[in-house]
Structure 1
Amino acid sequence: MSRRRITQETFDAAVRENMEEFEMSPAEALSDAVEQFDSQGVDLSCIVQAVPAGTCGDKEENHQVLLALESIRIGSNSQTLSDIQHFTEQCSAGFAQRYLAAQKGAYAVILSFCKSRVEAQDAALGGLLALAALSDGQPDLLDADGQQFLLDVLKKYQDSPTVQCAAICTVRHCCLKHEQNRQDLIKSGVLALLIRAITQHSECAEVVKGASAALRVMTFDDDVRVAFGHAHEHAKMIVLEHNGLKVLIDAAKAHLSNSSILSEVCATLSHLAVRNEFCQDICDLGGLKLIMTLLAENYESQELVRQVLSAIRAFAGNDDVKDAVVNACGVQLIVIAIDRHISNAAVCEQGCACLSVLALRKPNNCKVIMEEGGTMAAVQAMKTHPHVLNVQKQACMLLRNVVARMQSYCQPILEMGAESLITQALQNHQDCNDVGKAALRDLGCQVELRELWTGKRGGITN
């Protein structure tokens, strides 16, 4: 059930009433208002939970973000840059501030500022930073004029890494969960601009990281308002038309000591491995060798390990790449990663998923997984994270894939305690039903299977 919503004015009036009618202190008035609305089931996620402060001309007291916005509207040229910086800081404070500003027409004001100051680099940068902050979580704000401005500024200031970073951040915010913005910007050539930013500023960590993240967003299918997105087509365009795989792999090689960039690049490569030949291309370009090296040399970085495992999982959709991973001692490295970060559910999930993919239709790989302790690592992950659905699902799938073509491994896996753990997963997680029962069935355990359809024809009744 959706929660009730109120306006900022309603919330502010309640706070003011507490202060004037009940003589509460500002802090007490604010706390009481929040408590009262919460008890009534009101959603306050878009409400600035602060006491309005300051005045703006003849207007009543208002919130800092609106005061900053009004200063930009009426400010002189000498003061506007500091005002825009103050507005950016306020928008960066939280979504409620950004939402309130947007409700009061901030997008038109900031875009007008950006377009009028585009010739001055410092002002253009300040306006872009404000636009990036305002659009975070509010991609619907972007219109055709805003799209064209972003494309123009990416072209105009292609030699400035700071302006590129700000523009790319705005593009990413406006494309997240917004399929139409993605399609419009891609049709207008944004992919070439993002790729060029990476190649031209390959030494700049922030540009490479931001552009890689923006490219990844272009491959998302996350807009619930759209029945069918173009995620697959966008990934193909990045790879085939813009040589994206080589550009990203080369960028990663230039920043081998920066785990943050490496994590971003690995995540983006995972989203680009959408076709069998792309997986092979990544391997041929040295991408597989690169990520195996990253896995071997960066065990302490949980986030990087997780992203590397996710990348291996994606690349191993190609059967030849499966063999290449195993031949490169990938199973041993994955097992070590799971053991090293056994308390981290995300690493365990991705590690089990990797081994599951490597085992699929590959009896020889199953043998290596058994010998290197992969199934034992999965069992231990199930014990450590009994209430994490995805860990349980991926571990069940791994155990099932290992024994599906290698029945001789059933008894050793059962001796690890797999049956009771799978049974527990079935009890705890309804979504484990299919993979859990399949694992029990292939392990030779007694399992109740329901026949959902017998194939018999029946009459149709009106």
Structure 2
Amino acid sequence: MLRSAADVMATRRITQDTFDAVVRENMQEFDMEESEALKEALEQFESQGVDLSNIVKAVPKVSSEENTEDQPHEVLQALESLRTAVASSSASVLEDLRVFTQQCSLGFAQRYLAAQKEAYPTILACCQRAAGEKEALSVALAALSVLTDGQPDLLDVEGREFLIGALTAHQKDTALSCLCFRVVRHCCVKHESNRQGLVKAGVLPLLTASITRHIQHPEVVREACVVLRVMTFDDDVRVPFGQAHEHARMIVMEHNGLKIIVEAAKAHPENKAVLSELCGTLSRLAVRNEFCQEIVDLGGLNFMITLLADSLDCLVSCGIAESGIISCEHKQTSCCCDASVFQELVKQVLSALKAIAGNDDVKDATVNAGGAELIVMAMNRHMSNAQVCEQGCAALCVLALRKPNNCKVIMECGGALAALQAMKTHPADVNVQKQSCMLLRNLVAHTRDFSQLILEMGAEALISQALAAHSDCCDVGRAALRDLGCQVELRELWTGKKGSLSQ
């Protein structure tokens, strides 16, 4: 596909040296103050469409009055100090590692600059040398984790072998396991080759075994679940076909992943952050009809329904508004009284309910358990959160698909009204608009009696607005209008007349 000129411009990059030279020129040639010179350089490159996400936006300092050459940026100074300490086996290696980690934690630009100056081999060497020393290994792994964040291409075969070896050797150590999991996660996001390489090297059984072994340790459970979920991603645009489905199958069938995750969820009923990750992972693993049913058989559906109901009850009893904390009567450390935490949990539960409802029997089981009513309540309670609205509409959409009786329940509990309110509340969010349109269509596809009621709620105007605002809504929006009985223009893109494909 050809890219537009705007797309090409948006991908333009410059080096750190080029940026620093322009800042220095502004100061020397145009007699600007440091802050003004930096601002001018930023505006100049941004006006040219240059992507500055990889640039450290700081004024380069001169070495001294006698030596007017620019000093390296602080992250490079930290890297050079670390290299010197490693080469001389100095006792300051750990402190230098901590300083380097701190500098890389400032932002992606610092990490990118360090990687361009060959930081990865140095940090990996520190990890390898510290393999038998817990404190040193912990500090080195922290540095490797930060460095690889957003830079998965850094991982090589040597690094992959080290990670598998470290995970194997330190299975009983929760802190080191978490650090290793974090490095694995950073190296696998948007990198299909790393995912496949680590799976072949045996990372999946190490992850599932760690959850089982440390099931009472929330941080291990959480970190391991995040990595399992990342292994099912298909987010590397450089690869035409990934192994997301195969990895999900392996986790479930070869490593008993569903049972392990459901049991872990039951072990942390009050930890909202852990439960969010576990539900999010379940949604990624429900890729087959039988997997969806297995989650139900393991008690996963009842657990998620109870979790959704309890989260809504807790919001009321704690007095939590959508904007944040009002008050908490529980006075318990396990009660996480933060609206954003609850919203993330609700979003992940809705996502999991949507995923397992791909099985028609599970659709009925979810509705019979009161799932439709709870989903609508969650949407109404978190109407200002676009992601909750999107996942709520998506879950109701799947529950309604080819199920007239479920459509009746959804209509009776206010599902259509909640979807239309979501469209009103989030007119700029294309995903909310699309999922709402799909839900409305499914509600009337096999039950035309609901059409007039939905139209009286103002559906036609809202769908038309979505069509006008979002080109991605064209197909689902027109389909919804058509099934609602509205007049809609259906374009015939090609009829096969007036010439042939060979001409």
Look up the equivalent residue of 2:8 and give its one-letter code: S
Q: Is 1:68–1:86's contact at 8 Å kept on the other side of the alignment?
A: yes
How far apart, in 1, do the equivalents of 2:360 and 2:428 lie?
32
Provide the secondary structure at the position in 2 that maps to 1:256. coil
Per the alignment, residue 375 of structure 1 pairs with 416
Task: Give the TM-score, by structure 1 length.
Answer: 0.96
Per the alignment, residue 242 of structure 2 pairs with 229
- The alpha-carbon deviation at position 438 of structure 1 amounts to 1.2
Aligned residues: 461
- Change in 2 beyond 3 A, CA 1:66/1:414: same
Per the alignment, residue 478 of structure 2 pairs with 437
1:340 aligns with 2:350: no
How far apart, in 2, do the equivalents of 1:150 and 1:286 lie?
34
Look up the equivalent residue of 1:113 and give its one-letter code: C
Per the alignment, residue 44 of structure 1 pairs with 52
How far apart, in 1, do the equivalents of 2:132 and 2:33 lie?
48
- Change in 2 beyond 3 A, CA 1:419/1:60: closer
Q: Is 2:111–2:147's contact at 8 Å kept on the other side of the alignment?
A: yes
Look up the equivalent residue of 1:156 and give its one-letter code: A
Q: Is 2:61–2:70's contact at 8 Å kept on the other side of the alignment?
A: no
1:85 aligns with 2:101: no
- Change in 2 beyond 3 A, CA 1:445/1:146: same
Q: Is 1:18–1:24's contact at 8 Å kept on the other side of the alignment?
A: yes
Q: Is 1:54–1:64's contact at 8 Å kept on the other side of the alignment?
A: no
Provide the secondary structure at the position in 2 that maps to 1:410. helix
- Point out the more displaced range, 329-338 or 424-433: 424-433
1:30-429 pair list within 5 angstroms: 30-53=38-61, 60-75=70-85, 76-299=89-312, 300=315, 301-429=342-470
- Change in 2 beyond 3 A, CA 1:281/1:123: same
Look up the equivalent residue of 1:280 and give its one-letter code: Q
Q: Is 2:185–2:230's contact at 8 Å kept on the other side of the alignment?
A: yes
- Change in 2 beyond 3 A, CA 1:408/1:91: same
Provide the secondary structure at the position in 2 that maps to 1:78. coil
Per the alignment, residue 2 of structure 1 pairs with 8
- Any idea what the Cα deviations from partners look like across 1:193-236, whole Å, max 9, x if unmatched? 11112111112221111110100010011111111000000000
Look up the equivalent residue of 1:324 and give its one-letter code: A
Q: Is 2:60–2:70's contact at 8 Å kept on the other side of the alignment?
A: no
How far apart, in 2, do the equivalents of 1:247 and 1:22 lie?
65
Look up the equivalent residue of 1:29 and give its one-letter code: A
- The alpha-carbon deviation at position 452 of structure 1 amounts to 3.3
How far apart, in 2, do the equivalents of 1:278 and 1:55 lie?
63
How far apart, in 2, do the equivalents of 1:444 and 1:224 lie?
40
Q: Once superposed, what is the RMSD of the aligned Cα atoms?
A: 1.8
Look up the equivalent residue of 1:410 and give its one-letter code: S
- The alpha-carbon deviation at position 457 of structure 1 amounts to 9.9
Q: Is 2:181–2:227's contact at 8 Å kept on the other side of the alignment?
A: yes
Per the alignment, residue 330 of structure 2 pairs with none
- The alpha-carbon deviation at position 458 of structure 1 amounts to 5.9
- The alpha-carbon deviation at position 293 of structure 1 amounts to 1.2
How far apart, in 2, do the equivalents of 1:160 and 1:83 lie?
24
How far apart, in 2, do the equivalents of 1:73 and 1:55 lie?
20
How far apart, in 2, do the equivalents of 1:41 and 1:446 lie?
43
Q: Is 1:53–1:64's contact at 8 Å kept on the other side of the alignment?
A: no
Provide the secondary structure at the position in 2 that maps to 1:452. coil
- The alpha-carbon deviation at position 22 of structure 1 amounts to 4.0
Task: Give the TM-score, by structure 2 length.
Answer: 0.88
Per the alignment, residue 27 of structure 2 pairs with 19
How far apart, in 2, do the equivalents of 1:273 and 1:55 lie?
58
How far apart, in 1, do the equivalents of 2:192 and 2:238 lie?
9
- Change in 2 beyond 3 A, CA 1:454/1:60: closer
Q: Is 1:335–1:373's contact at 8 Å kept on the other side of the alignment?
A: yes
- The alpha-carbon deviation at position 53 of structure 1 amounts to 4.6
